[in-house]
Amino acid sequence: AQKVTQAQTEISVVEKEDVTLDCVYETRDTTYYLFWYKQPPSGELVFLIRRNSFDEQNEISGRYSWNFQKSTSSFNFTITASQVVDSAVYFCALSTTYQAGTALIFGKGTTLSVSS
Amino acid sequence: DTGVSQDPRHKITKRGQNVTFRCDPISEHNRLYWYRQTLGQGPEFLTYFQNEAQLEKSRLLSDRFSAERPKGSFSTLEIQRTEQGDSAMYLCASSGGQGARMNTEAFFGQGTRLTVV
C-alpha cells in the first residue's frame, strides 16, 4: 500500500526562524516520485519540487531545501529564514507508477503559520 | 493560457440536486485529474483522463459521480442527487510530458468549493 504521513499538523514560528516539515512515505515500488506542494489561503496547490526515487541528492532552491533519505523513507522540507508569506498548508505527495500518469497520494498536510 | 481554470469557484446547492463543474487544463497537457479535498485533509484522487479516455477511477467515485472529457480538452464532473457528504473542494489538475518524462508534476486549478445544504 502507498501512504504518506505528515505527522506535524500545525507549526507556528516567528519570522526569520528556520522550520522543517517532515514527510514519511510508504511504498513497495522501486520507482516512485515525491512531491511537495504549497496551498496558500487562496486554495490553489502550488508545485514546489519533484524528486524521483533514484536521485537522493538533496536540493536547495533559495530559502527552500529538501532532504531525501531512502533509508528512512523520508523527504523533509526546510524553509530557512521563514517569512510571513510562507504561511500556508504544505503537502507532501507520492506517485508510484512510472509509465502512466497516475494519481498523487497526498499526506494530510502541515499548516505553517509564520508571525512577524 | 496561464494555468488550470475551474468554474464555478463556489457552488451552494440543495441536497438532491445535480451539479456540474468544469475544468480547463493547460492547453498542451494531455492528462487531467480530478481530486476531492475535505477540510483538514489532503486531496484525494477521484479520476484521471489521458486525452479523452478515462483510464482510472477511485472507489471514492460512486455511481452518482460522472466525469467526461469529450474532446480531450476541457472536462466536466457531474454529481447527481447531491448529499451533504459531497461538500468539499473539488480540484482539477493537468500534466503533460512524453516518454521517459511522463510522470511530470501536476498543475492544479483553484478548485470549486461545493456546499450541499
- Half-sphere exposure for B15 (CA within 13 Å, toward CB): 4
Cα–Cα dist B90/B110, whole Å? 9
Percent of chain B surpassing pLDDT 70: 91
Q: What pLDDT shows up at residue A98?
A: 52
Strand A3-5 versus strand A24-26 pairing type? antiparallel
- The chain-wide mean pLDDT, for chain B, equals 90
Could you tell me which residues of chain B have a Cβ less than 8 Å from any Cβ in chain A? 31, 33, 35, 40-45, 48, 50, 55-56, 58, 89, 91, 93, 95, 102-111, 113
CA A77 to chain centre: 6
DSSP state of B81: S
Selected residue with higher pLDDT from A75 and A56:
A75
For residue B87, is pLDDT > 80?
Answer: yes
Which of A28, A20, A7 lies closest to A94, judged by CA?
A28
Look up residue A38 and give its amino acid.
Answer: K
The most confident of A34-48, B6-20, B91-105, by mean pLDDT: B6-20
Query: Does A75 contact B at CB distance below 8 Å?
Result: no
- From chain B, the residues in CB contact with A50 under 8 A are 104-105
Q: Mean pLDDT over residues A12-26, rounded?
A: 97
CB contact under 8 A, A45 and B108: yes
Tens digit of pLDDT for each residue in B18-55? 999 999 999 888 889 999 999 989 999 999 898 999 98
Residues of chain B positioned with their CB less than 8 A from the CB of A97:
103
**Confidence band (pLDDT; 50, 70, 90) for A100?**
very low
Low-confidence winner among A19-23, A97-101, B24-28, B76-80 (lowest mean pLDDT): A97-101
Contact assignment for B111 to A93 by CB distance below 8 Å: no
The answer to whether the CB atoms of A102 and B89 lie below 8 A apart is no
Mean pLDDT of B46-65: 89
DSSP state of B39: T
Is the model's pLDDT at B99 over the cut of 80? no
How far is residue B117's CA from residue B114's CA, in Å, rounded to a whole number?
10
- Checking if the pLDDT of B102 tops 90, the result is no
Residue with cell 522501486: A30
More confident residue, B1 or A10: A10
Q: For the range B4-7, what are the long-range contacts, defined as Cβ-Cβ under 8 Å and sequence gap of 24 or more? A: B4/B92, B4/B93, B4/B94, B4/B107, B4/B108, B4/B109, B5/B109, B5/B110, B6/B90, B6/B91, B6/B92, B6/B109, B6/B110, B6/B111, B6/B112, B7/B112
Q: How much is the pLDDT for B37?
A: 96
The confidence score (pLDDT) of residue A86 equals 96
Return the pLDDT at B100. Answer: 44
Q: How far is A83 from chain B (nearest CA, A)?
A: 23
Burial grade of B97 (CB within 10 A; 0-12, 13-18, 19 or more): middle
**Do A100 and B102 count as a contact with CB atoms less than 8 A apart?**
yes
Whether B84 has a pLDDT exceeding 80, the answer reads yes
Mean pLDDT of all residues in B101-106: 64
- Torsions phi, psi of A40, nearest 5? -75, 175
Mean pLDDT over A87-106 rounds to 81
